[in-house]
Amino acid sequence: MWNTGISGQELKTNIPLVLAHRGASGYLPEHTLAAVALAHGQGADFIEQDVILSSDN
C-alpha cells in the first residue's frame, strides 16, 4: 500500500462518492480506456483500475 494523500477526515461528507470498479464495466469491457472514459463522463468520483497483462503482450 502507499499513501494517496487523502485522509479519512477529508472524505467525510453527506454526499455519496461514486467509485467505478474497472471503469464503466457494466456498459463496456472492463479495463479499457473506453470504460474509463465512460465512467468519467458519467460522473464517477474515483475509478478503480486493476493492472493486468493484456493479450497483445
Q: CA 43 to CA 7: how far, in whole Å?
A: 22
CA 47 to chain centre: 1
Higher pLDDT, 53 or 28: 28
What's the pTM? 0.66
- The sign one gets for the Cα dihedral 29, 32, 34, 38 is positive
Q: What is the pLDDT of residues 4-25, one digit of tens each?
A: 666 656 666 788 889 999 999 8
Q: What is the pLDDT of residues 36-52, one digit of tens each?
A: 999 999 999 999 888 77
Per-residue exposure over 29-49, b if at least 16 CB sit within 10 Å of its own CB, e if not: ebebeebbebbeeeebeebeb
CA 38 to chain centre: 11
